[in-house]
A and B are shown apart, each in its own frame.
Chain A
Amino acid sequence: MAKPTGNPINDELLKIAAQNNISTIWDRFMEQEPHCGFGTLGVCCKICNLGPCRIDPFGEGAQKGACGADSDTISSRNLARNAAAGAACHSDHGRTMAKTLLDVGKGIIKDYSIKDPAKLKRLASEFCIKIEDKSDLKIAEELGEAILKEYGQQEGELTLTKRAPKKQQENWKKTNVNPRGIDIEVVQAFSRTHIGCDNEYKHVLEAAIRASLVDGWGGSMIATELSDILFGSPEPIRAEVNLGVLKEDEVNILLHGHEPLLSDIIVTASQDKELVELAKKYGAKGINLSGICCTAAEVLMRHGVPMAGNFLQQELAIITGAVEAMIVDIQCIMPSLSEVAKSFHTKLISTSPKAKFVGMEHIEFHEKDALAIAKKILRIAIENYKNRDRSKVNIPKEKMTLVAGFTMENVFYNLGGSFRPSYRPLNDAIISGRIRGVAGVVGCDNPKNESGLCHADMVKELIKNDVLVVQTGCSGSACAKAGLLTPEAAFRFAGDGLKEICETVGIPPVLHTGSCVDNTRILTACCEMVKEGGIGNSIDELPVAGAAPEWMSEKAIAIGWYFVASGIFVVLGTPLRVLGSKNVTNYICNEIEQLYGGKWAFESDPIKAAHLMIGHIDKKREALKLKPLIYAKV
């Protein structure tokens, strides 16, 4: 059986898995150990069929691949391809949203509507679309077109990059990484890294940065903005988290994956009287939706749908034996799910034209028939309730309450009401030394991190030191489970200055801002902090830092890169796979700071990592000549 995960709920369910000979990620992870040293160091090249080649990191064996590529070229090319794949995921996510917006505008799609017309108009204005005397739908159509055009754009720049402070924009232009269009940069990252093409590591990494900027200031940002427009902008909301949110007496349906198109309409459909009646007919008290991974964050932020778990818990959710259906779309869905589900009654339904899984029923989702498909899927789930084997049900009791739903926009109201909306109180709090700075702690969870509690440990250390924390994705649910996303957490865990601000505003010391595409909310919030003034004239001057303590996906690499290139110091819990090249490592962890103001650092101990961030924030405070922390103990 797998070694303890540090999380008692997981360990309990893993015991059941072991008893039933079900293999989980922890087992398979162990079977992979020790991980390939060449792969880990980034010096294995599988790009062409001269190889695979690998460089001896000890300097005794081969120092060049068959074509002559050295460790600098190989590791930078691998890294660029990882970043491009991550950026591709988020940009495709944004593309789907833009296409939907366009079709809603054209009247082809009727099951969605414009839920935040004010935001639609603001965004349209940014894209230079005249909004006077136009209906919301007309604006939506034109905006959808304008955005999709940027996907295929061959020259010029992306509209949303102009949101960045001047200095960031200048940095990108100066270093030749300002994206021209969305798709072109992803494609070019791949074409440049083909055998015998781009070999000079700094130049190769330019491609990585461009593709990543396309993610942060392009695809992801578009995804966030359009989701708000189509599904409503989040407001602070209460919800529950952890596997204890599954219910003994209701139809449990898990929404897993990333795009909110399906999940959001399922939330609507689940309130359909006929379906609720159907559930009752089958003996259930109702329909209980809950989420896994970033889909959980999407429906949490807008509807308060509980989060059953994060990435690592997807198999465990099925092992509770209480899940009628798990509906998946794209990204971070383990191919192992159908194996696990064989032991239970759980139906697995894949829906995205982009992703099929062996052993899953595929009901392809099309935005045109969104509501009908959602109902069809729900019906399958409800009808499966009768197959639940009570003897196999093991729902853990543990669950925790949280407050989520924070966005760049609603900070204005939350700090100043309708009449004095402003970031001033936040900036003042930083200037006066009540808040030391702001840290984004984001990203996946990963069995490599033995305690399984890296996120919470790091975040506790940060808030203890008066750093306000913002979160997204699986990192957010990890901390939510630890109770850090409650307003009460300020009294238990936060330093006196941060506590005072949390008390004044009524917020938790850790703010959940959504899914992994919603990391862009952190970017735009940084822009607002710069605009409000007093804590730096550009993002790299702000006393802020970021971390992904348990990153695993390629998207995390793209996200990290766009933060670094936007001027932010980013700490990863496990290193990027570049340590086999001293040059590349030194470049991305040191030299690059002079170009962008941001850089990478790797630290596995979450407390030490927190202090790297605190040190960086203090450095920025010093440069800004901000006052010492008001309640700091000398």
Chain B
Amino acid sequence: MSKIIATCAIRGAREIYRQAEEFLEKSIKEKGETCEVKFPDTAFYFPMAYALLGEEVKRLSDAKKVLLTAKALLHEDPSEKIWLPYLGDTLDSGVSALLCEEIIMALRYLYGQEPQKDCNGFFSDTILRTLGIQLVDGRIPGFAAILGAAPDNKTAVHIVRELQKRSIMTFVGSNVNGRSIIDQLLEEKVEMGWDTYIIPYGRDTLSAVYPLNWAIRGALTFGGHKKGEALKCLKYCQNRVFAFGMVLGKLDDIKYATGAGAINMGFPIIADTDIPEIKPSGICTYEHVVKELDHKKIVLRSIEVRGLKIKITEIPIPVAYSPAFEGERVRREQMFAQFGGKYSDAFEYVKMVPPDKIEDGRIEVIGPELDKIEDGGAMPLGIVVEVAGRKMQKDFEPILERQIHSFLNEAMGIFHMGQRDMCWVRVSKDARLKGFLLRHFGVILHAKFHDVFSAIVDKVQVTIYTNQVDVEMLVKEAQVSYKERDARVEKMTDESVDLFWTCTLCQSFAPNHLCIIKPERLGLCGAYNWLDAKASYELNPSGPNQPIKKGECLDPVKGEWKGVNEVVLQKSNRTLERFCGYSIIDAPETSCGCFECIIAILPETNGFMVVNREYSGMTPAGMTFSTLAGTIGGGQQTPGFMGVGRLYIVSRKFISSEGGLKRVVWMSKELKEALTDKLKKRCEEIGDPDLINKIADETIATTTEGLLPYLEKVGHPALTMESVM
């Protein structure tokens, strides 16, 4: 239990204090209070004392002041019974330990006792700045400080290699009964140094303050925090320096005290021995102290506990992988095997599961692999991706699932189309020849999900099914989920939510434009619906999709909200004051330039036309799509003209202020065909099932003069509606 840890740490801090006091007294006696004391190559004096206390320790007399503060942070052990709260005392003891360890290390430098043989000693400011960039850009995802020794050399090497593989900077040192991991690695001839990401700091626990007083300098150097801003510096470490302590072998009071110091910095402790655990979060982001007795799992467990986000840069598959291959087709004659389409049953399904139900990186193929089948055939396929993450939500499932399409397509020799249970995949002969197997789908998805969705995904496990019976059975489960998801999105209305989302992605080229993404009006590019924007915000909280509290509804018919207007004013650089989400006449939403379709007024018809960007011909407005686009882009409000996403046309909120779909008198044929099913449904909903046939296309007219007689002939409702102007 925690009390045992507290007792050890509090006791350990007192012991470290005793050592520091004794050493400092001796030093003052031998060298005098004014004797200078410092670490090599740092502008931060004693960095821990500088950051946490604001002290600039230059002389032994200054160190005495720090020692006094350290003493004030010491406490009595918690009593055996009816103890008083000990967490605060333990954390303070930890800080005391770090301050005292720093004093001891500096005094050792004074006496020429540091760095120890084969060790780096104090980490200089230069190293910090050199590595700074790699920290920021994620090339170094985190830091491990290992204390103690592994049970054998082989295990020591294994652990260090596992960390190296993930580019985790690893500091090694301390000892168990005199045996240090440093010597284990030396004996195994493991190359150590900054280039190999393995740094020996020292063979005793006290020297573990080196990585810690190095980390705290990050807050001062990169975080811009000032000396003495203890809380800010410590929180900087918690939020930005992804370090953790790994204690191999038995713990003693000194290790516990040092660990308590590290916990103040938000660095959790993972031990390979059967120690008590502290799981509740608060000072660290997740658990504080955990054990993992299996050395094969200890690195993964550490990554999970510290919440490291590992990017897998190279995907280990036998074919090239790049966005460049996304558009590549695999023709029948080049094809080795295919799945789905009209040739076999296939589906893909992403589902969220609890973290303890899956093992990250586990990939399994159940049924025949590619090397077991005949060339040129079709076979069933089920790709089931199970995902877990502290921030994962069920709502994200479809967003992740939709990415399977481009993730698989980016592998050379793989062709993917469609989605859900309507997907179609081909693997080329070339890819197969290079050794491509179905399990590599899993490898790709595991790597890409981690890469792209690191903010929400902690664990990914992929299972690929190729037996017909499995696929048939599992697709049913997936279909239930597909239906639920559809229902979830369809059920959502603008009224059912409190939040809308901004999208300012296009401000790089249209600086005053923003989209207001609502459940019933997606972004005009067609790529972002309400759930996408929400997910995007979760992934990148400071990104282009920000929540908007709708606030008071000023006009339910036109779709005007106070909260939206406030955001519009702010995000449009004060060029726009109001947005009416459902109107094309009064304060319509603006357009950047990437709209899928344009709605344009045709005053003679008392209605509107809609043209999609792929249609290059003339329209009844007298302009082609590209001419129209030129007049409405750039974040301007142009009543009567508006760029929209395709799906908005079939939304219940489609220019509903002006009468909605009944106003549409002309649509380009391609667009009408693409939306046929949905249009039919909408027409039925509004009680005019024949409306779809009353909407003209380019085969009927491309001028208003040609259009009008047709509208009159079919009795288009727009003609008799209230004047649109």
Q: Which residues of A contact B78 (CB under 8 A)?
A: 506
The stretch of B278-286, B303-311, B508-516, B537-545 in contact with A is B278-286
Q: Does A358 contact B (CB under 8 A)?
A: no
Instruction: Output the nearest chain A residue to B84 by Cβ-Cβ distance.
Output: A236
Q: Does A16 contact B (CB under 8 A)?
A: no
Q: How many residues of A are in contact with the other chain, CB < 8 A?
A: 34
Query: Which parts of B1-47 form the interface with A (CB within 8 Å)?
Result: 1-3, 6
Q: Does A58 contact B (CB under 8 A)?
A: no
Contact with A along B107-140 (1 / 0, CB 8 A): 0000000000000000000000000000000000
Q: A420-B234, A486-B82, A503-B1 are in contact. Are A415 and B278 (CB under 8 A)?
A: no
Instruction: Output the nearest chain A residue to B261 by Cβ-Cβ distance.
Output: A419
The stretch of A23-31, A425-433, A580-588 in contact with B is A425-433
Q: Does A52 contact B (CB under 8 A)?
A: no
B87–A422 CB distance below 8 A: no
Q: Does A39 contact B (CB under 8 A)?
A: no
Query: Which parts of B95-116 form the interface with A (CB within 8 Å)?
Result: 95
Give Cα A504 to B87, complex, Å.
7
B264–A419 CB distance below 8 A: yes
Query: Which parts of A402-424 form the interface with B (CB within 8 Å)?
Result: 402-403, 413-422, 424
Q: Which residues of A contact B52 (CB under 8 A)?
A: 419
Q: Does B325 contact A (CB under 8 A)?
A: no
Contact with A along B397-413 (1 / 0, CB 8 A): 00000000000000000
Choice from B6, B73, B81 contacting A506 with Cβ under 8 Å: B6
CB of A576, distance to nearest CB on chain B (Å): 35
Choice from B3, B87, B234, B282 contacting A428 with Cβ under 8 Å: B282
Choice from A237, A418, A424, A504 contacting B2 with Cβ under 8 Å: A504
Q: A425-B283, A506-B78 are in contact. Are A420 and B84 (CB under 8 A)?
A: no
Contact with B along A213-248 (1 / 0, CB 8 A): 000000000000000000000001110000000000
A416–B1 CB distance below 8 A: no
B88–A413 CB distance below 8 A: yes
Q: Does A488 contact B (CB under 8 A)?
A: yes
Q: A416-B283, A425-B282, A425-B283 are in contact. Are A503 and B3 (CB under 8 A)?
A: yes
Q: Does B89 contact A (CB under 8 A)?
A: yes
Give Cα A237 to B82, complex, Å.
10
Interface centre among B83, B95, B234 (most CB of A within 10 A): B83
Q: Does A500 contact B (CB under 8 A)?
A: yes
A504–B92 CB distance below 8 A: no
Q: Does B489 contact A (CB under 8 A)?
A: no
A432–B280 CB distance below 8 A: yes
Q: Does B178 contact A (CB under 8 A)?
A: no
A487–B280 CB distance below 8 A: no
A417–B280 CB distance below 8 A: no
Query: Which parts of B257-285 form the interface with A (CB within 8 Å)?
Result: 264, 278-283
Q: Does B686 contact A (CB under 8 A)?
A: no
Give Cα A427 to B283, complex, Å.
11
A506–B85 CB distance below 8 A: yes
Instruction: Output the nearest chain B residue to A402 by Cβ-Cβ distance.
Output: B82
Q: Which residues of A contact B91 (CB under 8 A)?
A: 416-420
Instruction: Output the nearest chain B residue to A429 by Cβ-Cβ distance.
Output: B280
Q: Which residues of A contact B84 (CB under 8 A)?
A: 236-238, 403, 506
Instruction: Output the nearest chain A residue to B282 by Cβ-Cβ distance.
Output: A425
Q: Does A614 contact B (CB under 8 A)?
A: no
Instruction: Output the nearest chain B residue to A423 by Cβ-Cβ distance.
Output: B282
Q: Which residues of A contact B85 (CB under 8 A)?
A: 236, 414, 505-507
Give Cα A236 to B89, complex, Å.
12
A-B pair number, CB within 8 angstroms: 102
Interface centre among A413, A419, A426 (most CB of B within 10 A): A419
Interface centre among B3, B78, B86, B278 (most CB of A within 10 A): B86
Q: Does B679 contact A (CB under 8 A)?
A: no
Q: Does B90 contact A (CB under 8 A)?
A: yes
Q: Which residues of A contact B89 (CB under 8 A)?
A: 417
Give Cα A415 to B281, complex, Å.
11
B87–A419 CB distance below 8 A: no
CB of A446, distance to nearest CB on chain B (Å): 29
Contact with B along A427-451 (1 / 0, CB 8 A): 1110010100000000000000000
CB of B166, distance to nearest CB on chain A (Å): 27
Choice from B6, B230, B278, B281 contacting A419 with Cβ under 8 Å: B230
B92–A417 CB distance below 8 A: yes
Contact with B along A482-525 (1 / 0, CB 8 A): 00001110000000000011011111000000000000000000
B282–A417 CB distance below 8 A: no
CB of B231, distance to nearest CB on chain A (Å): 7
A419–B92 CB distance below 8 A: yes
B90–A429 CB distance below 8 A: no
Give Cα A222 to B263, complex, Å.
37
Instruction: Output the nearest chain B residue to A405 by Cβ-Cβ distance.
Output: B84
Q: Does A40 contact B (CB under 8 A)?
A: no
Give Cα A594 to B278, complex, Å.
41
A425–B281 CB distance below 8 A: yes
Q: Does A401 contact B (CB under 8 A)?
A: yes
Q: A419-B52, A420-B234, A488-B82 are in contact. Are A432 and B281 (CB under 8 A)?
A: yes
B82–A487 CB distance below 8 A: yes
Interface centre among A236, A238, A418, A486 (most CB of B within 10 A): A418
Interface centre among A237, A416, A417 (most CB of B within 10 A): A417
Interface centre among B2, B78, B231, B282 (most CB of A within 10 A): B282
B82–A416 CB distance below 8 A: no
Q: A503-B2, A506-B2 are in contact. Are A416 and B282 (CB under 8 A)?
A: yes
Q: Which residues of A contact B264 (CB under 8 A)?
A: 417, 419-420
B73–A418 CB distance below 8 A: yes
Give Cα A597 to B283, complex, Å.
31
A418–B86 CB distance below 8 A: no
Q: Which residues of A contact B230 (CB under 8 A)?
A: 419
Binding site for B on A (CB under 8 A): 236-238, 401-403, 413-422, 424-429, 432, 434, 486-488, 500-501, 503-507
25 contacts between A and B (CB under 8 A): A236-B85, A237-B84, A402-B82, A403-B82, A403-B84, A413-B88, A414-B85, A415-B87, A416-B87, A416-B283, A417-B90, A417-B92, A418-B92, A419-B52, A420-B264, A422-B283, A424-B282, A425-B87, A428-B280, A432-B280, A488-B82, A504-B288, A505-B85, A505-B86, A506-B84
9 more A-B contacts (CB under 8 A) besides A424-B283, A503-B3?
Answer: A401-B81, A414-B85, A416-B87, A417-B88, A417-B94, A418-B88, A418-B92, A419-B91, A500-B280
The 3 A-B residue pairs whose C-beta atoms are closest, nearest first, are A425-B282, A417-B91, A506-B86
